[in-house]
């Protein structure tokens, strides 16, 4: 089978398509023939060597996949031909930039007809991150005021829709060119982060979902109501933020997303009742992964980037 691998750390050009042995599923795992692969900013950082999660090269990046079960000799949960998607094994290596992936049966769910393979591959990492932050950790409910930072990006565009589906009033920060996009997803108020300081434009927030870190996450403490909850996914200084939040009478959580099938099924339910759609900014063929990673690094995306196999 073909995989996308790298033999050194560096820019997008280190990624190459090569032949590799097919993975062998263990008992409790399935072999999935991959149709589409979702890309995430983390993968650009791993490729460049900014994080040591996968050790030294050579390695194969990738977690978000949608495809068809090729073989399921060691599990009763799936049969060949089943359409599945998920983010198996995260954050251990899943080697998903590949034609075939071996995945724990429980890390996959059935692909709904309402999602193409491309859309399904775009959903797991960003969808589960938003779900775990807003639903599992913050327990967002009707009438809550929720601030989603980076509402036009991968996590943000799904988070807006989840918060709306649970009845929240959603404020989001996004660049002005994405105003119509985020309003179309249901955002009630949009703050153009290039023009307006969000701390002057919103207050009494119940939950902040931070996708940005840096100054933004620290300054977000100021817009929460007493007892409000700051949830971040940037893991820069969770201990410091937690202490500052506690001193101010606020709650704080840092997320490391995990491949929870219950959350994935929650996302599927929202898709099936028309409350959640996945926006794919651009699709690249497998062989054009270098161009895809250039686009990933350039940022300012509207939703997601996906590779097709």
- Under the binding rule (CB under 6 A), the answer on residue 149 touching ligand NAP is yes
When the beta carbons of 257 and 292 are compared against ligand NAP, the nearer one is 257
- Under the binding rule (CB under 6 A), the answer on residue 125 touching ligand NAP is yes
When the beta carbons of 154 and 228 are compared against ligand NAP, the nearer one is 154
Give residue for tokens 């949009």.
190
Q: Which of 6, 40, 66, 161 binds ligand NAP (CB under 6 A)?
A: 40
CA dist 60 and 114 (Å) reads 30
Which residues ranging from 127 to 146 are in contact with ligand NAP (CB under 6 A)? Answer: 129
CA dist 102 and 72 (Å) reads 10
Q: Beta-strand (E) ranges in 9-132?
A: 15-19, 29-39, 65-71, 83-86, 100-104, 108-110
One symbol per residue from 250 to 289: x for binding ligand NAP (CB under 6 A), - otherwise; what is it? -----xxx--------------------------------
Q: Which of 205, 208, 233, 250 binds ligand NAP (CB under 6 A)?
A: 233
- Under the binding rule (CB under 6 A), the answer on residue 124 touching ligand NAP is no
- Under the binding rule (CB under 6 A), the answer on residue 41 touching ligand NAP is yes
Burial of residue 238 (CB within 10 Å: 0-12, 13-18, 19+) is middle
Coil/strand/helix, residue 39:
strand
Burial of residue 149 (CB within 10 Å: 0-12, 13-18, 19+) is buried
One symbol per residue from 59 to 98: x for binding ligand NAP (CB under 6 A), - otherwise; what is it? ----------------------------------------
Nearest residue to 163 via CA among 184, 180, 179, 139: 139
Binding site for ligand NAP (CB under 6 A): 40-42, 125-126, 129, 149-150, 152-156, 173-175, 178, 193, 211-212, 216, 233-235, 255-257, 299-301
């Amino acid at each position: 089978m073909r995989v996308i691998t790298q033999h050194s750390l560096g820019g997008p050009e280190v990624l190459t398509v090569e032949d590799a042995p097919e993975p062998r599923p263990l008992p409790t795992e399935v072999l999935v023939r991959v149709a589409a692969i979702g890309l995430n900013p983390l993968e650009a950082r791993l490729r460049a060597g900014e994080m040591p999660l996968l050790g030294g090269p050579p390695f194969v990046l990738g977690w978000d996949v949608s495809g068809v079960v090729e073989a399921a000799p060691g599990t009763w949960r799936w049969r060949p031909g089943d359409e599945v998607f998920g983010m198996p094994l995260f954050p251990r290596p899943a080697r998903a930039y590949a034609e075939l992936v071996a995945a724990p049966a429980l890390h996959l769910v059935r692909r709904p007809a309402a999602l193409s393979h491309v859309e399904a591959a775009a959903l797991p990492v960003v969808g589960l991150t938003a779900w775990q932050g807003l639903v599992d950790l913050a327990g967002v409910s009707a009438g809550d005021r929720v601030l989603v930072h980076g509402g036009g990006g991968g996590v943000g565009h799904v988070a807006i829709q989840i918060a709306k589906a649970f009845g929240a009033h959603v404020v989001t920060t996004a660049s002005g060119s994405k105003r119509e996009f985020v309003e179309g997803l249901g955002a009630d108020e949009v703050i153009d982060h290039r023009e307006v300081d969000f701390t002057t434009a919103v207050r009494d927030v119940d939950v902040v979902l931070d996708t940005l870190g840096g100054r933004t996450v620290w300054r977000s403490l100021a817009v929460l109501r007493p007892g409000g909850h700051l949830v971040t996914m940037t893991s820069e200084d969770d201990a410091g933020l937690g202490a500052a939040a506690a001193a101010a009478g606020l709650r704080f959580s840092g997320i490391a997303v995990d491949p929870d099938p219950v959350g994935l099924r929650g996302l599927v339910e929202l898709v099936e009742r028309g409350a959640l759609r996945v926006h794919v900014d651009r699709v690249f063929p497998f062989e054009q992964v270098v161009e895809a990673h250039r686009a990933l690094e350039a940022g300012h995306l509207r939703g997601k980037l996906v590779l097709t196999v």
